[in-house]
Amino acid sequence: MTIKLHCFGESGNSYKAALALELSGLEWEPVFVDFFNGETRTEEFRKLNPMGEAPVMEDGDIVLSQSGAIQDYVSSKSGRLGGRSAAERREILRWQFWDNHKLSSPAGMTRFLMNFLPEEKRPQEVIAFTQARLKSAYRVLDAALAGRAFLIGDSVTIADLSCCGYLYYPEPFGFDRKDWPNIDAWLTRISETPGWKHPYDLMPGSPADRA
């Protein structure tokens, strides 16, 4: 049975789930969510996910939302991208929780404010504040990757796929790879993994569609 992932290309959280599916070897297909025309606020979508967010995964009778939960399911089902011991699995969770709070949350908000709101509605003080928080997160991630190929062990795990989620997007939000050499090298290694795809190549929907 083909797994369905309700997603859209601009969504970094959707990308985390889609990339995990793509690298897992499981059979899956994207289902476009028309976020910018309000689909996630519709009654029909709320029946699928009462939280009103993408991504949402359907695998038969199993319906999951939240990218971390989807990644964990994909890793468990495929036997790939997970830790090799209980200690490594806890480390994966630690990085996923950190990413959700310290990196992806401010990255997603800052990118949205800077790129998807009309220019006159972009709150510059909020943007400056969240960019400062992001800079602290980049320092943590860059230091953790010093002398290491990946966050945990010697191969890609869902910890890496969580933390890289927003960092491949071209829209400006206060991240420049050249400023963070360890992150830069790590992103290159992930992108060299067989099966890797850029978010706009992996999922339907991009800013070009609305240009």
The predicted-structure confidence for 146-184, as pLDDT tens digits, reads as follows 999 999 999 999 999 999 999 999 999 999 999 999 999
d(CA 77, CA 71): 10
Mean per-residue pLDDT, 44-63: 98
- The pLDDT tens digits of the residues spanning 15-28 come to 999 999 999 999 99
**DSSP string for 125-172:** HHHHHHHHHHHHHHHHHHHHTTT-SSSSTTS--HHHHHHTTTTT--S-
Q: Which two tokens stand for residue 187?
A: 């992103």
What confidence tens digit (pLDDT) does each residue in 39-51 have?
A: 999 999 999 999 9
3-81+197-210 to CATH, choices 2.70.98.60, 3.40.50.2300, 3.30.360.10, 3.40.30.10: 3.40.30.10
**Cα separation of 202 and 18, whole Å?**
7
Distance of CA 187 to the CA centre of its chain: 13
Give the domain 86-191 fold: Glutathione S-transferase Yfyf (Class Pi); Chain A, domain 2 (1.20.1050)
Which residue's structure tokens are 């790939």? 80
**Domain boundaries along the sequence of the chain:** 3-81+197-210, 86-191
Predicted structure pTM score: 0.97
Which tokens go with 72? Answer: 């964990």
137-147 tens-digit pLDDT: 999 999 999 99
